[in-house]
Structure 1
Amino acid sequence: MALEWDAVSYEALADPMTRWGAAFLERLELRGDECVLDAGCGTGRVTELLLERLPGGRVLAVDASEAMVRAARERFAGEGRVRVERRDLLELEVGEPVDVVFSTATFHWIPDHARLFRRLAAALRPGGLLAAQCGGEGNILRVREATERVMRGERFRGFFEGWEENKEYAGVEVTKARLEAAGFERVRCWLHEEPTRFDSVGKLAGYLRTIILRGHVEALPEEERDPFAVAVAREMAAMDGPLLADYVRLNMLARKPERETATTGVSVQEG
């Protein structure tokens, strides 16, 4: 079952993801008339930036969350160049292949990357580009350490018996191998850090509940969700160093092989 989201709260807190998406988008040199699949569009904040780069193009924006899709449809109401659909990326099919698959802050929520990459390759035209960024190896280690301590505590341990986190923070080499196995070529992957600081335990707790610990809070009754997020934030505040989420981003650029005459005309600044 796809994880549902509080789209209103996410929209208010998604500045870090929007900033990373904007920076990653700057790497792409687009003609401006491409058809782009935004894989995991959320509320559409980064989709909006993508659309600015496509004055003659169009976007198919998809997300597995009903609330996110509803919010994105409201954002793009009346915009004929954007179609928003609720889709599971592991079951993705498109009526017409796209020139580019673009994604930020999504793939780590999908544990089966091998299958995911096969579905994305199938959605691309020959010569098409995959440009994606998500949480990678070493992502939020401080957050995870604090979370595990709180989960083992007397108040919360009963809610997490048998619970497993359903995320994939993959490394560079395994991701490169998975992309090549899915049929991609000219694959480039790299990691970079994006430490994100918070001014207070309260602000961090709200962010944790809505975004980082979204899967955890789903395992809790409503009355325990805020206390759990606050407990994790306090545990992090007690650690050495600043109050921050130690994000590590995994970047992916890859091409689907050319077939005869097909080409997208999209170039990319790698590095």
Structure 2
Amino acid sequence: MELLDWDARTYDTLPLPHRHWGENLLARLPLVGTEAVLDLGCGTGRDTERLLDRLPAGRVVAVDGSARMLAELRARLPRAGDRLTVRQADLREPLRLAEPVDAAFSVATLHWLPDHDTLFHSVAAALRPGGRFVAEGGGRGNVAGVLRALAEVTGRDDEDRFWNFPDVDETVRLLRRAGFPDPEVELVPDPARLTAGEPLEAFLGTVVLGAHLRELPADQRRPFVRAVAERLPEPVVDYVRLRIHAVRR
């Protein structure tokens, strides 16, 4: 599947739960302010900006596969100078950095990547020994209600077509294999309640169903999103987050 190139401007105007996901994750990353940190799946740079605030004498390497997201990030952070390196890369492929980093950070990206073994090895290769990896993404049970609504609309199970929602045991196994000997991994329910109608449909169409909409003609996209929204029992996206805190051997 080709990489998604998100509607970055609309994305940043929505009431995203990603904001508190990023804040909570950053709180779990101890920093003294001089480190180099890799931001995997940086998107429009909301969390990159917070990272830079925490790193007055450090730097961030911001990586994403979407050109439009990275354009928004550059517009958001025009004065970051040499404290920010921006790189477009397909995170489904091995990632190589010019220099190792002290920590890696990722919000709401893991579930879009089908091969976590490759990703975790890329993170380990990017980190110095003792470097920390903190991340969160969709885990087992994520958006189950949306998946049921989708199945009613499409007549098929779409979870494995576009998403990767692993469980704790599989994630721990892959992290250990990549060089993180004692990872902390947990699943945390975190439902997002939205306003029914246009706000819910905008959220679904921009944040959740982008891969599905890319396969449809433009005139079928809005009716498709509305059909999915109408089949939800309430205007809730039932997120379940997979949280990772690991230290490289």
If the TM-score is normalised by the length of the shorter chain, which range does it land in?
Answer: over 0.9
The 4+ residue runs of structure 1 with deviation greater than 6 A are none
Please tell me whether residue 126 in structure 1 is matched to residue 129 in structure 2. Answer: yes
Please tell me whether residue 93 in structure 1 is matched to residue 100 in structure 2. Answer: no
CA deviation vs aligned residue, 1:210-264 (integer Å, no higher than 9, x gap): 011111111101111111111111111xx2xx4200000000111111xxxxxxx
CA deviation vs aligned residue, 1:96-137 (integer Å, no higher than 9, x gap): 000000001001000101111111111111111111000001
Partner SS state of residue 102, structure 1: strand
Match of 1:245 in 2: 237
Match of 2:147 in 1: 144
- The normalised TM-score by structure 2 is 0.95
Match of 1:117 in 2: 120
- Which of the two has higher C-alpha Rg? 1
> C-alpha distance in 2, partners of 1:166/1:43?
21
> C-alpha distance in 1, partners of 2:212/2:221?
9
Unmatched segments (≥5 aa) in structure 2? none
Partner SS state of residue 43, structure 1: coil
> C-alpha distance in 2, partners of 1:110/1:163?
13
Match of 1:78 in 2: 79
Match of 1:183 in 2: 179
> C-alpha distance in 2, partners of 1:112/1:27?
25
- Fraction of identical pairs, as percent: 43
| 1:165–1:215 CA contact under 8 A, matched in 2 | no
> C-alpha distance in 2, partners of 1:120/1:73?
23
> C-alpha distance in 1, partners of 2:97/2:193?
39
Residues paired across the two proteins, number:
246
Match of 2:216 in 1: 220
In structure 2, the CA distance between the partners of 1:63 and 1:145, relative to structure 1 (3 Å rule), is same
> C-alpha distance in 1, partners of 2:15/2:195?
16
Unmatched segments (≥5 aa) in structure 1? 258-271
Residues 1-271 of structure 1: pairs in structure 2 closer than 5 A: 1-13=2-14, 15-80=16-81, 81-89=83-91, 90-152=93-155, 165-236=161-232, 239=233, 242-257=234-249
C-alpha displacement of 1:164: 5.9
Superposed CA RMSD = 1.7
> C-alpha distance in 2, partners of 1:163/1:193?
18
> C-alpha distance in 1, partners of 2:203/2:128?
38
- The normalised TM-score by structure 1 is 0.87
